[in-house]
Chains A and B, each alone.
Chain A
Amino acid sequence: MSPHGVVERPGPFCTIQDLGRRAGRRAGLAPGGAMDQRAFLWANRLLGNDPAAAALEITLGGFALRFAVETVVAITGARCAATLDGVEAGAWRTVRARAGQLLRLGYGAAGMRAYLAFPGGLDIATAFGSASAVVRDGLPGLLGRCLRAGEPLRWRAPDLRCPVRHVPEELIPSFPDALNLPLVVGYEWAEFSSADRDRVFDATWTVDSASDRAATRLAGPPLDTGPRVLDSTPLVDGTVQVTGDGLPLVFMRDRPTIGGYAKLGSVDPIALDALAQARPGTPVRFVRAEPDALRSALARRESFFGIRDEG
């Protein structure tokens, strides 16, 4: 089958993502899924796609795709100078392209990850209910690796007629110079010393460059390593774990399902979107979260984007 487009340059880390998988979590498969789910969801919404349609997550730009058909795509996420045959294409909007045109995403000016969605979503085999690539889990084909130069892509509805749409200016998230991360305290929180519990909220942490899709590592004043955890515990999205060096890390989409170190609680799942866009060196503070408020915000988001529970 002939491709609808070919990735000429994937950039440093380009993967196929959707909203991740729940199946297999019991057996250790990472949830996976778009790191910045808000940007991902907007990209699909612009095209009228299913909210979980597979799209590209492009890390740090440096990306180029040659279209083989006339079609329309949507670009959201990191600010990274999108051009179509050298003409500025804009972002947080749909972009029409003709066969033969080249879409480029330059190295980003702000943020870490851009999303490129296709009409109907990318046409790709799924595993355990999702098309999300988790490199460490060794799933077959594109579910287990980054895209390479020359990668052919097909999407499900290349002929979709879609009006030009853009995300309203006031709804486009900014890339703040510093982040507040709402923290639901839990797990072994009460067993950390009171000095350490104060330090968690008093300190300014910074995003460490050793961060990836599995965890955002934070640099700052080391805590005591906390209580010894006898048996590993199931983790939730955004779990904050303190490892042997006393520094906290926030588990992201490609996280393990079970963890054996002491944990402080978990970060607001919605705040993980902004954290996924935070560049190394970004200052971060933890603030106490009100779980009820976080849950209402999550419910509003799922209803707004039309996310349903399967089965």
Chain B
Amino acid sequence: MITFPGPVSALVSLPVPADREGIARILDLERVARDALPGVRATIPAFNRLLVEGSPSTWDPEEVEARLSAVAKECLAMAPEVEAGDTVSLPVCYDPELAPDLEDVAAGAGLSAAEVARLHSGARYTVLATGFAPGFAYLGDVDARIAMPRLRTPRRRVEAGTVGIADRRTGIYPTAGPGGWRIVGRVPPAFLADPTERISRFRAGGAVEFRAIGRDAYEAHSG
């Protein structure tokens, strides 16, 4: 489906699940769409959607719609190019002192805090989108047993490295700021990319693994 959220932009939603294969298809679509359309200024892939922004002097919505739907059809007919590249591996400390929502998530799931930590760190995640803020990545899927919606009212401040859960997504706040995800752990900030060198350690389509570390190891990395 193609919609037009602004005068010079198109949003393509592919009828595929927002998973590893879905983002792979969107990245394929992005590559082809950039060549198929004139004057593309920016593209943002996220989950099973692609935003295309064009130039006002060359943008013709009917033509854009025709070309994008042809390209989308093509991409859906092909096998997606699922990325096999590097896996980012990050240590996470699940100490309840650093993870104020861990007990709530555990209670909601009828599990112990340790089991929540085990389920959260036991999965291999796909980067389904990067963005919101620089360095943030939406990772999925979180085990359905520990999926929990965002807080109704976001916290005014969460620390850099905070690991949160929102429904079937998990992510790490790259810098301190307001945050509405359920906090279940923390990554020592030293493991997050310096925004002056590279915007993000994460690339859409890539993989991320967590390994649980104790409080001592967390403090040693944070010292």
Contacts and interface: CB of A to CB of B under 8 A. Distances in A.
Contacts of A294: 7
Interface stretch (B79-87, B101-109, B113-121, B128-136): B128-136
A26 B131 contact: yes
Given A236-B6, A298-B56, 7 more contacts: A27-B199, A136-B175, A232-B132, A234-B11, A265-B6, A295-B59, A296-B56
B9 interface: yes
Nearest to B30: A26
A232 B138 contact: yes
Contact of B6 (A29, A136, A186, A260): A186
A26 B5 contact: no
A260 B136 CA distance: 13
Contact of B199 (A29, A235, A291): A29
A272 B118 CA distance: 48
A24 interface: yes
Interface stretch (A106-114, A137-145, A203-211): A137-145
Contacts of A59: none
Given A27-B131, A294-B7, A309-B55, A234 B44 contact: yes
Interface of B: 3-9, 11, 18, 39, 41-51, 53, 55-57, 59, 61, 128-136, 138, 150, 152-153, 166-167, 169, 175, 177, 195-196, 199-200, 204
Contacts of B4: 184, 186, 291
11 contacts: A25-B42, A25-B44, A26-B44, A26-B45, A139-B195, A234-B50, A236-B53, A256-B132, A257-B131, A269-B6, A292-B7
Contact of A24 (B8, B43, B61, B199): B199
The 6 closest A-B pairs by CB, nearest first: A234-B51, A234-B44, A298-B56, A28-B131, A299-B56, A186-B5
Contact of B51 (A140, A236, A238, A268): A236
Contact of B153 (A138, A230, A244): A244
A289 B55 CA distance: 19
A186 B3 CA distance: 7
B61 A291 contact: yes
A231 to B, nearest CB: 4
A138 B128 CA distance: 24
Nearest to B53: A236
A166 to B, nearest CB: 28
Contacts of B55: 302, 309
Contact of B200 (A28, A128, A187): A28
A22 interface: yes
Contacts of B166: 260
Contact of B46 (A22, A186, A231, A265): A231
Given A184-B6, A234-B49, A265-B5, A28 B59 contact: no
A27 B200 contact: yes
B43 A137 contact: no
A26 B167 contact: no
A172 to B, nearest CB: 24
Q: How large is the interface on A (under 10, 10 to 19, 20 to 34, 35 or more residues)?
A: 35 or more
A138 B193 CA distance: 12
A258 interface: yes
A277 interface: no
A27 B200 CA distance: 7
A303 B196 contact: no
A99 B138 CA distance: 53
A231 B44 CA distance: 14
A132 interface: no
A15 interface: no
Nearest to B153: A244
A130 interface: no
A28 B51 contact: no
B199 A28 contact: yes
Contacts of A186: 3-6, 11
A269 B138 contact: no
Given A238-B6, A291-B61, A139 B196 contact: yes
A86 B138 CA distance: 54
Contacts of A296: 56
Q: Which of B3, B5, B55, B196 has the most CB of A within 10 A?
A: B5
Contacts of B48: 231
Contacts of B167: 230
A25 B11 CA distance: 15
B64 to A, nearest CB: 11
